[in-house]
Amino acid sequence: MALIVLASGSGSPGVSTTALGLTLNWHRPALLVDADPTGSSSVFAGFFHGTQEPTGGLINLALSLRDGTLADALPRETLLLDPEAPAERSAWFLPGIRAHDQAPSLLPLWDPLTEQLRALERNGHDVIVDAGRLGLAGWPQPLIAASDLTLLVTRSSLPALAGATSWAKTLRAQFAGVGGLSRLGVLVVDEERRWPAMPTGARVRPYSARHIAKALQIPVVASVEWEPEVAEVYSHGARKPRKFESSGLLRGYRASAAAIQSILGANQAALAPTNGGHA
């Protein structure tokens, strides 16, 4: 099982839509956890377009923690995202809070919930966490610390990079302090398609992955094209446009999933003990 966290340093670069898109295009069973402390999840109002009855989600889990029944409560609070997906690629959703003032009540939950999410390995599930904007009251810092990979999500424009720079520095220090820099990366929501052709050297255009990695001093693990009409299928429950399955955005989600899996595999191999040449 892998625990992957997506978060932003500032603004709204598309963390929630990207996390949902990755979950629905993951290569094995996956659980999406809405840990955004703003309480602004768009899954019920957007992807489900108001047809799915919300569960208590994380708030119910916080209550079950007090009763000592967290392990039993977790399956009851998850919802199936896509009933038509094959079992080997099933996608589930753990709802978050409904209002930002509930976020502080989740602080005691994050550590024990991390243990329960890791226990999902027995069922072959990976976990993708939408952590929203970093540093807000009640943010899921323990999930980030325990993650197999944390991805700082940013758009490719200069204002977006300026907003991500401070948190990039903070995350580098935190992961370096525990020897875990290989568990930190950047996921770029590439805005290139939105811009007309510009004169050579004009710096209005979005920055490349190489420039972004250099600016943030964190490797770019993956990038996805920003196609609003395709993204709205996930963010607003919009009707699928023509050639949805072959769109650049979905190809980006699938390529990102493969790139993430490659990083996770390399990190796992680096941590595996050698047998000293013995069989």
**pTM surpassing 0.85?**
yes
> Residue 192: its pLDDT value, please?
66
| CA distances, 18 to each of 38, 64, 174 (Å) | 17, 30, 24
| CA distances, 95 to each of 60, 123, 129, 207 (Å) | 10, 20, 11, 34
> Residue 78: its pLDDT value, please?
94
> Residue 193: its pLDDT value, please?
53
Q: Are 38 and 178 in contact (CB under 8 A)?
A: no
Run of H or E including 92: strand 91-94
**Mean pLDDT rounded to a whole number for the chain:** 90
| Domains in the chain, CATH or no CATH each | 3-195+204-268 (3.40.50.300)
Q: Residue 105 and residue 118: Cα distance in Å, rounded?
A: 22
Poorest-pLDDT segment among 2-6, 136-140, 200-204: 200-204
Q: Residue 224 and residue 163: Cα distance in Å, rounded?
A: 19
Q: What is the pLDDT of residues 210-269, one digit of tens each?
A: 999 999 999 999 999 989 999 999 999 899 999 999 999 999 999 999 999 999 999 989
Closest C-alpha to 76, from 61, 66, 91: 61
Q: What is the pLDDT of residues 66-86, one digit of tens each?
A: 999 999 999 999 999 999 999
User: Is residue 43 packed enough to be buried (19+ CB in 10 Å), middle (13-18) or exposed (0-12)?
Assistant: buried
DSSP 202-247: -TTSPPPHHHHHHHHTS-EEEEEE--HHHHHHHHS-PPPPTT-TTS
Max avg pLDDT among 35-39, 134-138, 183-187? 183-187
